[in-house]
Structure 1
Amino acid sequence: MNLNELFKNTDYEGTIFSDQDKAALETRIFTKAVKNIEVPYVKCIIREKDIKLTPEEAVRQLYTQMLISKYGYPKDRIQFETHIHFGREVKRADITIMDKDRPMVPYIIVELKKPKLSDGKEQLKSYCNATGAPIGVWTNGEQISCYNRKDPNFFEAISDIPKASQKLSDIINEKYTYEDLKRIDKISTQKRSLRALIKEMEDEVLASAGVDSFEEIFKLIFTKLYDELICANDSTAYLQFRNNGNTDYELKEKIQSLFDEAKKKWEGIFTDESKILLSPSHLAVCVSTLQDIKLFNNNLDVVDDAFEYLMSKAQKGEKGQYFTPRYVIDMCVKMMNPTSKDKIIDTACGSSGFTVHSIFKVWKDIRREKGLEEGEGFTAAERIPEETNFVRDNVFAIDFDEKTVRVARTLNLIAGDGQTNVLHLNTLDYSRWVEITKQEDWIDTYNEGFKKLKKLQPKGVSDFSRFSFDLVMANPPFAGDIKENTIISRYELGKNTAGKWHKKVSRDILFIERNLSFLKPGGRMAIVLPQGRFNNASDKAIRDFIAERCRILAVVGLHGNVFKPHTGTKTSVLFVQKWDDVLCPRKDDYPIFFATMQKPSKDNSGDKIYVKNPETGENLLDSHGHLIVDHDLYNHDGMTQDGIAEAFAEFAKREGLSFFQ
């Protein structure tokens, strides 16, 4: 009997168990009639008797099979339902592996849960403390966490448990190369997310550490990216961002040294004086938690997901500015079709997804033209000069939030091989740029990029009111009105129909006008806007303003769940091209591409929905072993159907749009 058939509400695909172990269990399943109902049973692999097969029991039988086949533990060292004494109270451990030399002493205690459950880790630790067992394992069959109990109330994550032929020190002291990391990466092997691991760290460590969670986790991710970069380019190098048998103080010295090297490689993110503020013991737990995650991957989702979580906890949500899901960004990039000749900017960049994914797209084009393998986007591999030149000279981003800018600079620096033009400025309040850009601290970090930005002003313009970009893509903040007259008075859309200045204007309205001022004639824009801007009668003047200056290319309605759990605001993406005698000759009557996203991509709670194989029901994985979000915006590497972006490309070619010729 098939496990998926047996437990209708439990997905046994994508588990930590091998197909052989699952098949072996399925051959042992039989049914018994209990009160005229056929109930599944199995002959227990350890107790040698018939046991009712619940979801939790299935996980126990599968994990035990793995202990025997993969780890080599003999059956006589494995116990079920071992009594754990807490004074007069007695509890039972699901699985206990006894010490080889002391058969009555627990060596490894395993706490099991049925799939989807995530509780029980504190219970496991209490069992280890009560018995003195040095190793604890928690698993629900889909995820697994292994711990080394160093002393009461201090558990350190370890990458695996020792095999029967190994010692615990063999696991703790094992050295890993980048190839080893790719093999054990928890994201692809266990479908763990960096976001979930950070939540664990916050619950178990950071809540009592007395530090800024964002800053300390940012430092660790920054340091780990540097470590991966070094080892990815040297197959003989061992990863340093690991807790391999060091004392806590030795580990802190090693990680601080690595952090200092990373700061030199990628300047302008942290000050020279920045130190890791976590205590040695707290740092040891965090390093152990992160060490088996591979951060470099093609689509940035791993790192971005974590930063979105951290930023939303900090302040992003208050300003109505949310990280744009990567699949929405990729749709915009495919529809705007950036080239190596385009000057590109994101005026409200967040983590800079629009620019980074534009870089990835253009890099593939460059490599294809030169007859090279396309390669990966977010990769540790070195870049050819044409690729780095494009990032250095053509790609810009601005955001008014300092923390966000540092995240964006990190991702751009790494993706762009140390080159970035991400600037900390208020896009809308450009009259104050002169005074801000004269501040010494600002100049040290941002001046190189700003000098290049100034050169993109049209001739005769020096007040930063207009620029000559080919492409603007942005998801500006919706929440919060602009009330400062000094800002509003610089915008046509700051006036009412009587020509008087409004006392307050929504941010996104001013961003429409400001973004268009960044474009040269024939330049194009993709901007995420609240759905009301397209429907409300009161916003007709805004629509007229856009239509007077641009050809409206497309409007794509996004599903209401796309920005959940942060907001349920219904949004659409507007695509336009500025009128130009050559690139976009003015017309009074022309077709517009309209499309509406049919697949929600997320459930009502904001959790992503993933593509399943229609034949097996298993989650479909991309070439990196990552789950594929179920949307209809574009074809995901030939693994899903063509979507809105492909339909627009056909429309653009039929219409002879300049950027698709």
Structure 2
Amino acid sequence: MLADILKDSNYKLSQFSELQIQTLENGVILRASRDKLVPYATCAVRKREVKLTPEEIVRQLYVFVLRDVHGYPVERMQLEYPVNFGREIKRADIVVFDRDETVAPYMIVELKKPKLKDGKDQLKSYCNATGAPIGIWSNGESISFYHRKDPNYFEDIPEIPHAGQKLSDILQERWTISDLVAKDKLVTERKSLKDLILEMEDEVLANAGVDVFEELFKLIFTKLYDEMQSGRNRVRHLEFRNYGDTESELKSKIQRLFERAKDLWPGVFLDDDKIMLTASHLSVCVSSLQDVKLFNSNLEVVDEAFEYLINKSSKGEKGQYFTPRYVIDMCVKMLSPNSSETIIDTAAGSCGFPVHTIFHVWEQILKSKGFDRGHLFSLEEKPQECFDYVNDKVFAIDFDEKAVRVARTLNLIAGDGQTNVLHLNTLDYERWEERTSDEDWIDTYNEGWKKLKKLRVDRNSNRDFSFDVLMANPPFAGDIKEGRILSKYELGKNPRGALQTSVGRDILFIERNLDFLKPGGRMAIILPQGRLNNSSDLQIRNFVSDHGRILAVVGLHSNVFKPHTGTKTSVLFIQKWDPILCPKVDDYPIFFATMQEPSKDSGGKKIYVKRRDYPEVRTNHVVSEGIASEQLDHYNTEPVDLDEYLLDKHGHLIVKHDLFNHDGLTQDGIAEAFHEFAKREKLSFF
């Protein structure tokens, strides 16, 4: 009944419990009006029947939340409260009055505007006009809580006080990592870190006179450090929070935390780098970020934010777009790297392929020792073998300095302060020596460079290496026109051997990546689909088949890289010929698959799995010592809320795709089908 009324609106019911929804539905009365039945219900506050519009449904349900969850009596509430703006009167959806000053608004709830920005603007005007210190916005799906500190500063707060609490009880509470897990805003408010960054840009950073990328990078870097320290000492209080500090006190505290983070994870910021935001701007940003848990099972939360920031500042201009993490996970599952093998990404971006390979191998190491993968998998203490793998076997290269710094951050975390992420131009290997002899470059990258040099086939050449596994998503856009570079590549010449005037960057990456692999080594590379079927690209396909076995071709949906590009892409999987691991043959089967689920809509927004997609799966999230776990019961007899999204075992939304089975909750996909193919073909890595 209620779902039918909300069907074509921007309001949802996913924020409310099954009991609250059922209580309201049980009270619905149908009244005849103009030859149709109109739903009404008795308002808990006004004690009279009201017509159930989408907005009214959410309002009535939120009254239940205020009354039954937070303990506020309906006698302290008023609906459609008049707020004066000069001669104009507007009406606030719900007002909760102060316990002592019974006519003074204490909380104002805004539901009329189903979009956050519009709702927050309206809420601010109501709070400023009435002096209410607490504002709440909701559309039944997302919710936001604010403390009005002054007319121009509304601070995010994690929740509202219970009827028996004061606002100061909420603001002065000391948080541990367990509190952050339990109250993570990304889960409780159904937001993403990117959403919060957009809010900060809109309200604070656009006029702050600073480099937005640099300042947000510093804050995320600092918060990651704070979470890691508390993850390894669970009684430690988080420091990246405002516990009632003055703005200047808060800035000093966050700057000290930033200095400690730089000491632990060197080579990302300069020694004399400082946080450049003013104390007031920093205070707003800290309040927006402090209730977010950046660490999760695979760092995807922070990765998505970095992807947005780097694309905005530089990446998109070069035609290099970050690979969605579900595509990366498919590639990792299909190539199945292990702890004894070296791996490199030659166009690393924010290092998605290496980081997800690390997690894949770590899981193998932990499983071999009888350990489970925890909720804070990327943060918890691990056996030394895990760090040894990152330090000795995992490498990455990118030519974009900002991307390299992000990639280094993620790998420094995984590698406990060590990383082999290098700032180099993969294609122009002849000029590496100019970079590797630069004193500033050496200060940051020399440890990783020394390890990479050991993997060269010829100690005097930077062309050929001996990696076991390579995964990359090279830039699609832009041709290489320099004859000096083109002359070093077979694919820089036409079939008659004459040097071409320009060659697509991604074409040269195919050859360059094969140079990085040892015989029997394997790779996954994402390419524009035309490379695999255009008649003009026959030379490329012949080159590939001469150098290795084509293991698989997986066609990705055209929405995968939206909103950045609609280019149709495929993932090409190759194993280099080797007498033992991959003997050369003229005829062999190839695994072909095409992604059917789009994973994103036409605007590039991710599509998530809903519970109704898998009604047999029941998820019970149990919080114990701050660690969320899940028990699955495939014989579910309880009603499933069809409007709720299915969450994985870490409480995160699952993108709807058919590339692999996510946590055993969805159907087997392309990766599982390839596993069966690989076993039948007796591929060396299965």
Q: If the length of structure 1 is used for normalisation, what is the TM-score?
A: 0.97
Asked if 1:625 is matched to 2:651, the reply is yes
Distance 1:611 1:643 in 2: 14
Secondary structure at 1:529 match in 2: strand
Other structure's SS at 2:685 match:
helix
State the match for 1:26 in structure 2. Answer: 25
Q: For each residue in 1:471-514, what CA deviation from the matched residue of structure 2 results, as whole angstroms up to 9, or x when unmatched?
A: 11000001111112221111110011231211111100000000
Of the candidates 642, 654, 657, which is equivalent to residue 668 of structure 2?
642
The share of aligned pairs that are identical, in percent, is 65
2:299–2:378: 8 Å Cα contact kept in structure 1? no
**Residue matched to 1:525:** 523
Using the TM superposition, name which of 250-259 and 157-166 deviates more: 157-166
- Letter in structure 2 aligned against 1:391: V
> Contact (CA 8 Å) 1:378, 1:415: kept in 2 or not?
no
Rounded Cα–Cα distance in structure 2 between residues aligned with 1:416 and 1:314 = 27
Q: Name structure 2 gaps, 5 residues minimum.
A: 616-639
What's the CA shift for 1:417? 2.2
Task: Report the CA distance between 1:76 and its aligned residue.
Answer: 1.8
Alpha-carbon distance in 2 for matches of 1:562, 1:377: 28
1:14 to 1:466, Cα distance in 2 relative to 1, 3 A:
farther
Equivalent pair of 2:70/2:163 in contact (CA under 8 Å): yes
CA distance in 2, matches of 1:524, 1:430: 21
| Residue 12 of structure 1, CA deviation | 7.3
Question: Comparing 221-230 with 146-155, which one deviates more in the overlay?
Answer: 146-155
Deviations, residues 334-360 of structure 1 (Å, cap 9, x unaligned)? 110101111100000011111111111
Q: Distance in 1 between matches of 2:294 and 2:283?
A: 19
RMSD: 1.5
Q: Which moved more, 1:577-586 or 1:124-133?
A: 124-133
Provide closer, same or farther for how the CA distance between residues 14 and 586 of structure 1 changes in structure 2, counting only shifts above 3 A. Answer: farther
Give the conservation status (yes or no) of the 8 Å contact 1:472–1:524: yes
Residue 505 and residue 378 in structure 1: after superposition, are their counterparts in 2 closer, same or farther (change >3 A)? farther
Task: Output the CA distance in 2 between the equivalents of 1:289 and 1:315.
Answer: 25
Following superposition of structure 1 onto structure 2, how do residues 22-421 of structure 1 map, counting pairs within 5 Å?
22-113=21-112, 119-375=118-374, 378-421=377-420
Q: What is the aligned residue count?
A: 658
Listed as ranges, the matches of 1:493-504 within 5 Å are 493-504=491-502
Q: Deviations over 1:575-617 (max 9, x none)?
A: 0011000110010111111111111111111111111223343
* Contact in 2 for aligned 1:156/1:288 (Cα 8 Å): yes
- Measured in 1, the distance between the counterparts of 2:163 and 2:340 equals 60
The CA distance in 1 between the partners of 2:337 and 2:673, in whole Å, is 17
* 1:299 positional shift: 2.5
What letter is aligned with 1:637?
A: D
Match of 1:323, as an amino acid?
A: F
Distance in 2 separating the partners of 1:424 and 1:418? 17
**8 Å Cα contact 1:4-1:12 kept in structure 2:** no
How far, CA to CA, are the matches of 1:83 and 1:13 in structure 2? 26
1:174 Cα deviation after fit: 1.1
Deviation at 1:245, TM superposition (A): 0.7
Query: Separation in 2 of the partners of 1:87 and 1:413?
Result: 57
How far does the alpha carbon of each residue in 1:161-191 deviate from its partner, in whole angstroms, 9 at most, with x for none? 2222221111111111111111111122222
1:11–1:123 distance in 2 versus 1, CA, 3 Å = closer
* Segment drifting more, 178-187 vs 16-25: 16-25
2:468 paired residue number:
470
- What is the distance in 2 between the residues matched to 1:33 and 1:217? 56
**Structure 2 counterpart of 1:287, one-letter code:** V
Paired residues of 1:633 and 1:645 also in contact (CA < 8 A): yes
Code of the aligned partner of 1:77: R
CA positional deviation for 1:10: 5.4
- The residue identity in structure 2 corresponding to 1:353 is G
Deviations 1:209-252 (A, max 9, x none): 11111111111111111111111111211111111111111111
Query: Does the 8 Å contact 2:116/2:137 carry over to 1?
Result: no
Report the Cα distance in structure 1 between the residues aligned to 2:485 and 2:375, rounded to whole angstroms: 42
Distance 1:569 1:325 in 2: 14
Deviation of residue 13 (structure 1)?
A: 6.6
C-alpha separation in 2, matches of 1:380 and 1:600: 32
Deviations 1:403-436 (A, max 9, x none): 0001111111112222210001000011111010
Residue 11 of structure 1: CA displacement? 8.5
Q: Is the 8 A contact 1:364 1:375 kept in 2?
A: no
Q: CA deviation at 1:104?
A: 2.1
**Contact 1:115-1:142 at 8 Å conserved across structures:** no
Q: Which residues in structure 2 correspond to 1:427-466 (within 5 Å)?
A: 427-458=426-457, 460-466=458-464
Equivalent residue, structure 2, for 1:607: 605
Q: Distance in 2 between matches of 1:61 and 1:524?
A: 59
Once residues 452 and 577 of structure 2 are traced to their aligned partners in structure 1, the CA distance between those partners, rounded to angstroms, is 23
**Contact 2:611–2:645 (CA under 8 A) maintained in structure 1:** yes
- Aligned partner of 2:571 in structure 1 is 573
Contact 2:11 2:58 in 1 (8 A): no
Distance in 1 separating the partners of 2:557 and 2:99: 57
- Report if aligned partners of 2:348, 2:396 keep a CA contact under 8 Å in 1: yes
Query: Could you tell me how far 1:115 is from its partner in structure 2?
Result: 5.5
| 3-state SS, counterpart of residue 161 of structure 1 | coil
Q: Which amino acid aligns with 1:330?
A: D
Instruction: Specify whether residues 415 and 480 from structure 1 end up closer, same or farther in structure 2 by C-alpha distance, changes over 3 A only.
Output: same
Query: How many angstroms does 1:306 deviate by?
Result: 0.8
User: How far apart in 1 are the matches of 2:537 and 2:664?
Assistant: 40
Distance in 1 between residues matched to 2:66 and 2:240, nearest whole Å: 28
| C-alpha contact 1:114 1:141 (8 A) present in aligned 2 | no
Letter in 1 for 2:72: Y
Moved more, 195-204 or 362-371: 362-371
CA distance in 1, matches of 2:409, 2:375: 18
Distance across 1 between alignment mates of 2:373 and 2:176: 25
Closer, same or farther: CA 14–286 of 1 in aligned 2, 3 Å: farther
Cα distance between partner residues in 2 of 1:319 and 1:66: 49
Question: What SS is found at the alignment partner of 1:119?
Answer: helix
Q: Which runs of 4+ in 1 moved over 6 A?
A: 11-14
Q: Encode CA deviations 1:352-399: one digit per residue, 9 max, x unaligned.
A: 111111111111111222233244675211121111111110000000
Alpha-carbon distance change, 377 to 162 in structure 1, aligned in 2, over 3 angstroms: closer
CA distance in 2, matches of 1:390, 1:579: 26
Partner of 1:659: 685
Give the Cα–Cα distance (whole angstroms) in 1 for the partners of residues 113 and 2 of structure 2: 13
- In the other structure, the counterpart of 1:555 is 553
- For residues 291-340 of structure 1, the C-alpha deviation after alignment (integer angstroms, 9 at most, x for no partner) is 11111111322111111111121111111111100110011001101011
TM-score of the two chains, using structure 2 as the length reference: 0.94
- Asked whether the equivalents of residues 148 and 154 of structure 2 are also in contact (C-alpha less than 8 Å), the reply is yes
Unmatched segments (≥5 aa) in structure 1: none
**AA in 1 matched with 2:71:** G
State whether structure 2 residue 595 is matched by structure 1 residue 597: yes
